[in-house]
Amino acid sequence: MPSTIISCAVTGSAPTPDKNPAVPVTPAEIAASAIDAAKAGAAIVHIHVRDPETTKPSMDPALYREVTERIRDSGTDVIINLTTGPGARFIPDPDDPSRASPDSTMVKPEQRVVHIEKMSPEICSLDVATMNFNQHVFLNHPDHLAIMADRARKAGAKPELEVFDTGHIVLAKKMIADGLIDAPPYFQLCLGISYAAPATVDTMKFMADMLPEGAVWSAFGISRFQFPMVAAAVLLGGNARVGLEDNIFLEKGVLASSNAALVEKACNIVNQLGGTVASVKEARARLGLKG
């Protein structure tokens, strides 16, 4: 088996500190949690930011800057992956479905990559997906994705193609064919999210088999599916993501004490299955990153 690249999704937008006090909120907390995850074995840290006052998701470039600079200034050799997911939530107005309700967060694609252009991370997520997500629509128009992919490339960031179902892979392959994504493409199979592909071994294998030749892929399952999907990804020759963005429990009924604890458990699974955990150097080489 190839070595397994472990990614850690540090905070996300759904889990909140009232559900698990280990969920980091402030830039200092997010950076410290990312650094600890890297020390535990994560080669990649996937970063969202939150408003320190409200704990809610934020798109403030200043918060991304502080988190990124804290990680870099620490001397920790870890690959930083900044999200571009926020800004794509559409909720129709109940009285006029052609218009967005006040709860929608749709913004121009250029606004969703401002922090990428400012901070030039090695990786940024690119959600190749339009889908129902709980009670809102996660809306990523192909033209918007093209703009974001182009700007990410110019900023030196490799897109992590987040796909939640099989049709998203078809669109991602079209983007690759159109020259929007450099080789090797890097896919993240997102499993178990509401109204998307379920977190099963069969689903993971089917989606992995759809990927273009030479693609590097990783996968995760949310909540109780997190660690079973780690094992499945290892056995299928992929890589794995864990973290408090996707799951707040270490085991049934036991809250995770930190992102590092989730990473340590993932590393143990890799080792127990006879595999090895990829170093940051190995991850950079396989993903075609310059560092």
Among 44, 118, 38, 26, which Cα is nearest to 75's? 38
- Average pLDDT of the residues of the chain: 97
Cα distance between residue 198 and residue 215, in whole Å: 22
In contact, 80 and 126? CB cutoff 8 Å? no
Residue 203's Cβ-count burial label (10 Å; 0-12, 13-18, 19+) is: buried
In angstroms, what CA-CA distances link 261 with 153, 247, 268? Answer: 33, 12, 11
In contact, 283 and 212? CB cutoff 8 Å? no
* Amino acid identity, position 273: L
For the cut 80, the answer to whether the pLDDT of residue 291 exceeds it is no
Structure tokens at 184: 């090797």
pLDDT band at 164 (very low <50, low <70, confident <90, very high): very high
pLDDT band at 64 (very low <50, low <70, confident <90, very high): very high
Q: At how many degrees (to 10) do helices 27-40 and 61-73 cross?
A: 40
**Tokens 């969703």, located at residue:** 112
Cα distance between residue 45 and residue 54, in whole Å: 23
For the cut 80, the answer to whether the pLDDT of residue 8 exceeds it is yes
Structural domains in the chain, sorted by start: 6-287 (3.20.20.70)
Average pLDDT over every residue of 146-174: 98
Residues 6+ apart with CB under 8 A from 85: 13, 48, 125, 127, 162
Residues 6+ apart with CB under 8 A from 117: 151, 154, 155
Q: At how many degrees (to 10) do helices 142-154 and 166-177 cross?
A: 50
Rg (CA), the chain: 18
For the cut 80, the answer to whether the pLDDT of residue 154 exceeds it is yes
Q: What is the pLDDT of residues 42-59, one digit of tens each?
A: 999 999 999 999 999 999
Cα distance between residue 264 and residue 278, in whole Å: 13
For the cut 80, the answer to whether the pLDDT of residue 119 exceeds it is yes
Please give the model's pTM, rounded to 2 decimal places.
0.97
* Amino acid identity, position 2: P
What pLDDT, on the 0 to 100 scale, is given for residue 15?
Answer: 79
Cα distance between residue 76 and residue 142, in whole Å: 36
The strand pair at 216-221 and 239-242 is best described as: parallel
pLDDT band at 13 (very low <50, low <70, confident <90, very high): confident
For the cut 90, the answer to whether the pLDDT of residue 290 exceeds it is no
Exposed e or buried b for every residue in 245-278, given b needs 16+ CB within 10 A? bbbbbbeeeeebebbbbbbbbbbebbeeeebebb
What pLDDT, on the 0 to 100 scale, is given for residue 1?
Answer: 79
What pLDDT, on the 0 to 100 scale, is given for residue 264?
Answer: 98
pLDDT band at 14 (very low <50, low <70, confident <90, very high): confident
